[in-house]
């Protein structure tokens, strides 16, 4: 399935599709601790900040549909953290479990190296087994676990930090 896809940098015209994928998880899952849907204006501003080394990629299907997206974002605003990035990978629900997450994360790691970053961090809800498996298979190691730092759907949630050298 992944062979038919083109992985390319995201452009403003992708904002709606990126939000449709992401907001599904905002509403239905603990994949993200965001609780209110991302607006189009916020996504367009986010895309503006993800046009350089902090990259946003999309996986485009032959018919132009977007099957998933992935990004590198600053890990922390303080300047000494500038060589560390946090990754995100979100697939359309019907595109999961077929290797696309692995492909997008691999392209992100290429982009992290090309961008001169030293470390990539994933911050994952402890109950998100697919995301933890994806990162472990890509060579990320668990470096921290924090308990009950999120509250979503009336449940206290733990997070796992996983880290890989770029
Ligand atoms: C997490 C996500 C990006 C993974 O992408 P995917 O295409 O479904 O995963 P892949 O098919 O590439 O699988 C990658 C590895 O994880 C494993 N894996 C995938 N889903 C799994 C699951 N539910 N449980 C256990 N392992 C799983 C696969 O077996 C594979 O390992 P392998 O290479 O040894 O076979 C995708 O499921 C998704 O979009 N989930 C919802 C959003 C989300 O949680 N994003 C991450 C936020 S940090």
Closest among 30, 10, 20, 1 to 128, alpha carbons compared: 30
Q: What is the DSSP string of 26-83?
A: HHH-SSS---SPPPHHHHHHHHHTTBSSSBEEEEE-TTS-EEEEEEEEES-SSGGGTT
Distance between start and end Cα atoms, the chain: 27
Contacts 24+ apart (CB under 8 A), 111-116: 111/53, 111/55, 111/57, 111/72, 112/72, 112/85, 112/87, 112/166, 113/166, 114/53, 115/52, 115/53, 115/54, 115/55, 115/72, 115/85, 115/166, 116/53, 116/83
Ligand 1 atom nearest residue 98's Cα: 11
Model pTM? 0.97
Torsion of CA 96, 102, 103, 106, to 10 degrees: 150
CA 80 / ligand 1 centre spacing (Å): 31
Q: Which CATH superfamily is domain 2-118 in?
A: Gcn5-related N-acetyltransferase (GNAT) (3.40.630.30)
List, chain by chain if needed, residues with CB within 6 Å of any ligand 1 atom. 25, 31, 88-91, 96-102, 122, 124, 128-131, 133-134, 137
Per-residue pLDDT of the chain (166 residues; tens, 9 = 90+): 556 899 999 999 999 999 999 999 999 999 999 999 999 999 999 999 999 999 999 999 999 999 999 999 999 999 999 999 999 999 999 999 999 999 999 999 999 999 999 999 999 999 999 999 999 999 999 999 999 999 999 999 999 999 999 9
């Amino acid at each position: 399935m992944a062979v038919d896809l083109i992985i390319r940098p995201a452009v403003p015209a992708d904002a709606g599709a990126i939000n449709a994928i992401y907001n599904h998880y905002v509403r239905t899952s603990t994949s993200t601790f965001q609780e209110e849907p991302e607006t189009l204006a916020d996504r367009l501003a986010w895309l503006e900040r993800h046009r350089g080394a902090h990259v946003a990629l999309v996986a485009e299907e032959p018919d132009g549909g977007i099957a998933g997206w992935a990004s590198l974002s600053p890990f922390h605003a303080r300047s000494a953290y500038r060589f560390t990035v946090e990754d995100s990978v979100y697939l359309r629900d019907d595109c999961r479990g077929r290797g696309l997450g692995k492909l997008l994360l691999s392209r992100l790691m290429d982009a992290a190296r090309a961008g001169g970053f030293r470390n990539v961090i994933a911050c994952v809800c402890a109950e998100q087994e697919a995301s933890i498996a994806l990162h472990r298979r890509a060579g990320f190691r668990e470096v921290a676990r924090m308990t009950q730092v999120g509250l979503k759907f009336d449940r206290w949630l733990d997070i796992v930090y996983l880290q890989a050298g770029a």
